[in-house]
Chains A and B, each alone.
Chain A
Amino acid sequence: NAGVTQTPKFRVLKTGQSMTLLCAQDMNHEYMYWYRQDPGMGLRLIHYSVGEGTTAKGEVPDGYNVSRLKKQNFLLGLESAAPSQTSVYFCASSSHLNTGELFFGEGSRLTVL
């Protein structure tokens, strides 16, 4: 019963390096989301996708890029990591129905030195 799977779970980067976080869901959901969670700030939406081949900016998109080439996968990229991007990143997915429950991955902890 996989649900939403994020890889990697932990990563340490140096300033200026690039990396990609992968999110995979096996529930055939239309909507997928990337959030970051920082102490005292709750969840902030980075980017989201309403279907395969589509992406849109959320609340804090700067410094990140995303792609949704396959319905089940949503990739989050950092082209040139900065210390301000040290955070815990969560992927989530939902069906297009308006009952709207979000299913979350376990999170990816990223540290940028």
Chain B
Amino acid sequence: GDSVTQMEGPVTLSEEAFLTINCTYTATGYPSLFWYVQYPGEGLQLLLKATKADDKGSNKGFEATYRKETTSFHLEKGSVQVSDSAVYFCALSDPTNTGNQFYFGTGTSLTVIP
């Protein structure tokens, strides 16, 4: 079945450091891939997405590239800010599933210190 595995946290970085959060997936079809972000006390919101192989999603300085050959969708940011402190979830949507389509990783907590 479909699944998402992402890097365990928590991750603590200094401001302006480089961020990578690893995400790999297993899917029977050709999924769309997502990164969601959850700020303290809030619901999840879409950060970026990619719908086919080699697509790069980007938003707010974050990037992730859909790599079919390595079944990965790693999240990167060149210079993190304190305001990036949040929990990040990798997810996939597999349209070949007639029922539930969405699968989430367990989340990675990021804390950025000044």
| Residues of A participating in the B interface, judged by any CB pair closer than 8 Å | 4, 31, 33, 40-43, 45, 48, 50, 56, 58, 90, 92, 94, 98-107
> A106 with B106: in contact, given A50-B99, A100-B95, A101-B49 (CB under 8 Å)?
no
Chain B residues within 8 Å of chain A by Cβ, number: 22
| Residues of B participating in the A interface, judged by any CB pair closer than 8 Å | 32, 34, 36, 42-46, 49, 51, 89, 91, 93, 95, 99-102, 104-107
- Is there an interface contact between A102 and B44, defined as CB atoms closer than 8 Å? yes
- Is there an interface contact between A42 and B45, defined as CB atoms closer than 8 Å? no
**Closest chain B residue, CB of each to CB of A97:** B95
Q: Which residues of A contact B32 (CB under 8 A)?
A: 98-100
Please measure, in the bound complex, the distance between the C-alpha atom of A94 and the C-alpha atom of B32, giving whole angstroms. Answer: 14
- Is there an interface contact between B89 and A42, defined as CB atoms closer than 8 Å? yes
**Closest chain B residue, CB of each to CB of A45:** B100
Q: Which residues of A contact B49 (CB under 8 A)?
A: 99, 101
Please measure, in the bound complex, the distance between the C-alpha atom of A33 and the C-alpha atom of B91, giving whole angstroms. Answer: 15
Q: Can you name 10 A-B residue pairings with CB atoms under 8 Å?
A: A43-B89, A50-B99, A98-B93, A100-B102, A101-B34, A102-B91, A103-B46, A104-B44, A106-B42, A107-B43
